[in-house]
Chains A and B, each alone.
Chain A
Amino acid sequence: MAVSASLSFPRPDYAVEAEELTKVFGDFVAVDRLSFTVGHGEVFGLLGPNGAGKSTLIRMLTTLVPPTSGRGRIVGRDVVASAKEVRRSIGVIPQAMTSDLDLSAVENMSIFAKLYNIPRDRRRKIIARLLEAVDLAQWADKPVKMFSGGMRRRLEIARGLVNQPKVFFLDEPTTGLDPVSRVSVWEMLARLKKEADLTIIMTTHYMDEADKLCDRIAIVDHGKLVALDSPLKLKASVPGRNVIEVSFSKVPDGWTDVLESLPEVAEVRAEDNVFRIASHNGSRTTVALMDAARSVDVAIASLSVQSTTLDDVFVHYTGRQLRDALQAPSASESRFLMRRE
C-alpha cells in the first residue's frame, strides 16, 4: 500500500535531507541547526565524540524524537507530517541489541515482517533471502540466545531490512563486537549495499570502519556539523600527510620552536612529553629531527611515523580534551541492561 505508493511517487533528488534540524532539551542544545543531504545509494557516516548529538539526530530522522525546529525528509517525506510513510521506508538498527533471545531467528524476523503487514508468501521469501545474505540460514530456527554477539548483530541487520527500506540507519553497528565479527559485519553491509539500492546512514566510533564503509563522513561536535566530505578529502584537509609521534629524554627550552623549524613540518602539538608533528614528508622530517636532537644531546625515547588517518582528522576537528559532561537521563539509557553486553 504505502510501499507501492512511494514507488509511484516521483523520486526526490535526495534520500535524506536535513534542513536546519534542531533539538533542544531544556536549555541544552543537543542538535544545533544541522543541514545536509544524502544521495541515493550513498553510505553516510556520522562521527563525533560522545554526547555530540549523533543519536539525537538519528532519532529525529527516524521519527522517534520530534525536532524542536527545522525539517527532516526521508525520500522526500517529512519526518513529522508524514511519519507513518517515513516509518515504512526506513530500517533502523538501534545501538542496543533488541532481538528477542527466547525466539528463533526466523520468529524474530517474522514478527517484524508482520508489523509491516507483509503477506505470508512474501514474508517467507524475504526472510529466507535475508538470512542467506547475513549467513545465518543454517541457524534460522535456533533460539537467538545461543547466538554470538556478531550473529545477533547480523540478525538485527537482516531484521531491519525485512520491510525492504530505502534508507537504513545503523547506530554503532559494531560496538562491542570482536574483530572477526566486525569484519564480517562490514563485508555484509558492503554486499547488501551493492545488492539493494540502499542508502545507509551510520554512526560509529571506529575510524577504520568509517574509512572503509562510508562514501562521505560528517563530523558532528556540540550538535553542529564541523566537517563533511569523503574520507579521502577529509584526510587531505588535515595539515601534513604523515604524523610523527615522538618523545624525548628531556625537553630543552624553546624545543617546540626548533621542531616547527624542521623541514616539511606543518604543525606541532605538544602534550606533556609527547609531540605530534604533522609533516608533508615524514622521512625527511624524521631524519632532520634526529640530527637536531643529537646536536643538543637529547635522546629520543620513542618515535613513530604514520600516515594521516581519520583518527587524526577526528582529533583535528573535535580537539583532544575528554568530554565529561552530564547528560539528561533518557528512557533508553536507564540504569540497567542498556548497553549490549
Chain B
Amino acid sequence: MMKDAWSRIMALIERDLRRFRRSPTLMVVSMVFPLIQLVVLGYAFGGKIKNLNLGVVDQDYREPAVRLKGMLNAVAANARTFKPIPYYDQRRAMRDLRDGKIDGVVNIPPDFSRYVLSGADPRVGLIVDNTDQFSSSALTASLTELLQAYHAKRPPPRRSHVATLAVVEVYPYVPYIQFLLPGTIVLAIFVSCMIGGGIIYIDDKARGLHEGYLVTPLTKFDLIMGFNLAGAIKAILSGLVLVTIGSLIAGIPNPLAPLRLVRMLALVALTALALVSMMFLIMVRVSDPLVPRAIFGVLNTVLFFPSGAVYPINAFPAWMKIITVIDPFTYAVDGFKSLVLKNTGLAAISGDMFFLGIFTLLAMAAATRLFKRDL
C-alpha cells in the first residue's frame, strides 16, 4: 500500500520537474535572479568610497597648515577617498556644500598654527553633508586617521597614558559581497518556493488542474507530499546553484571542497523544506491567483531584511527583533554564515537546524489540518 502511495507521489513530482525543465524562464528567475542580486548588491554596498569632493578653507596659511594640506593631497593621490578643493571664502564653501557640489568642508582656523607651535590642542573643523551617512562617515574616518598621523609626526610632548585597543581579526577580511552570500542563498530558495509553492500552485488550482487530481485515487497524504516534495526539490536546486556559483563569484576560499558541499547541501535541504512548508501553510486555502503575486514583495521584505542577511540583527529596534526571532530566514542565514564565512561543521549550527526542523513540522501539521481534499 505504501509502495502504491509512493509511486503516486513520485508521479506528481515527476510532472512538476518535467514542467520545470521545460520552462527556462522559471529557472532563470529562480536561479539567475538571486545571482544578479548578489553581484549588484555586493558591489553596490561593498566597495570603498572614493573621490568625495572635500572643500578646504585655510584661514591660517602658515607652515603647520601647509603641512596639513600636503597630507590631504597625499590622501587624494593614494587612497583617493577625497579630492581637496581649495576655497578662499568659507561662506562660499558652505553654500556649495548645501547645494551638493561638495561632500564636506575642512576648515583650518586662523589660530591653527599658533596652537600647534605652542603645543596646545589645535582644532580643525569638518563640516559634512550628513544626509549621506556612508560618505560622511568615510570622510570623518579618513580625516580622523589623517590627524592622528599628523600628530604622530611630532615627538610626543610627554608619555602617553591613553589606553589603546589592539584588534585581532579571527577571519580574513570579509568583503560585503561575501557577507551577503548567505542571505542570497536563502533568498534563492525562497524565490523558488514562492514561485513553485505560491504562484504556480495557485494558478494550477485556478486552472482546474487540481480538480483533475481530486477525481483520481490520490489521497490527501499523496497530494500534500507530492506538492511539497516537488517544491522542495526545485528550491534545493536553486539553493545549490547559489552555493556553488555564488561562492565562486563572491570569491569564497576553496568553495568546492567536498565536505563543505555536503554540509551546505544538508542546510540547503532543511531550509528548502522549512520555506516550502511555510508557503504551503500560507497558500493552503487561497484560490485567487492574484494573492501570491500581491504578497510576494511584502513577504520578501518582511522575511529577508529582518533576518540579518543585509545588516546585523543587533542594530534592529525591539519590534523588528520579534520578527527576527520567528523568521525561519534568520536561522537559515545564521547557519549559512557559519558554513560559508567560517567554514564550521554542522555541530556549530545545530541550534539553527533544530529550529528549521521544528518549524517545518509545525507548518506542515497546520497546513495538513487546513488542506481540503474536495472543492
Contacts and interface: CB of A to CB of B under 8 A. Distances in A.
B15 A103 contact: yes
B289 A334 contact: yes
Contacts of B211: 64, 94, 96, 98, 332
Given A64-B211, A87-B217, A116-B217, A111 B203 contact: no
B301 interface: no
A239 interface: no
A201 B216 CA distance: 17
B11 interface: yes
A335 B22 contact: no
B208 A95 contact: yes
A103 B217 contact: no
B132 interface: no
B7 to A, nearest CB: 6
A143 interface: yes
Contacts of B18: 100, 102-103, 107
Interface in B69-121: none
Contacts of B146: none
B374 interface: yes
Interface string A312-341: 000000000000000000111011111000
A98 B208 contact: yes
A90 interface: yes
A238 B8 CA distance: 51
B375 A84 contact: no
Contacts, number: 100
A331 B205 CA distance: 8
A335 B11 contact: no
Contacts of B374: 63-66
Contacts of A100: 15, 18-19, 209
A197 B179 CA distance: 67
A40 interface: no
Interface string B190-229: 0000000000000101111101111111110000000000
A50 interface: no
Contacts of A163: 216
Interface in B15-66: 15, 18-19, 22-23
A114 interface: yes
Nearest to A115: B216
Interface in A33-51: none
B206 A92 contact: no
Nearest to A88: B217
B11 A115 contact: yes
Nearest to B20: A102
A64 B217 contact: no
B214 A64 contact: yes
B277 to A, nearest CB: 22
A131 B18 CA distance: 21
B215 A114 contact: no
B215 A90 contact: yes
B290 interface: yes
B287 interface: yes
Contacts of A103: 15, 18-19, 22
Nearest to B217: A87
Nearest to B289: A336
Interface in A56-90: 59, 62-66, 84, 87-88, 90
Contacts of A273: none
B11 A111 contact: yes
B350 to A, nearest CB: 39
B10 interface: yes
Nearest to B208: A96
Contacts of A84: 217, 219
A338 B217 contact: no
A115 B208 contact: no
Contacts of A334: 206, 287-289
Nearest to A84: B217
Given A64-B375, A84-B217, 7 more contacts: A64-B374, A65-B374, A87-B215, A94-B212, A96-B211, A115-B217, A337-B207
10 cross-chain pairs, A with B, having the tightest CB-CB distances, nearest first: A114-B11, A96-B208, A331-B287, A102-B22, A92-B215, A98-B212, A334-B206, A115-B216, A111-B15, A117-B4
17 contacts: A62-B215, A64-B214, A64-B215, A66-B374, A84-B219, A87-B215, A88-B217, A94-B211, A103-B19, A107-B18, A111-B11, A111-B14, A111-B15, A115-B218, A332-B375, A334-B287, A337-B206
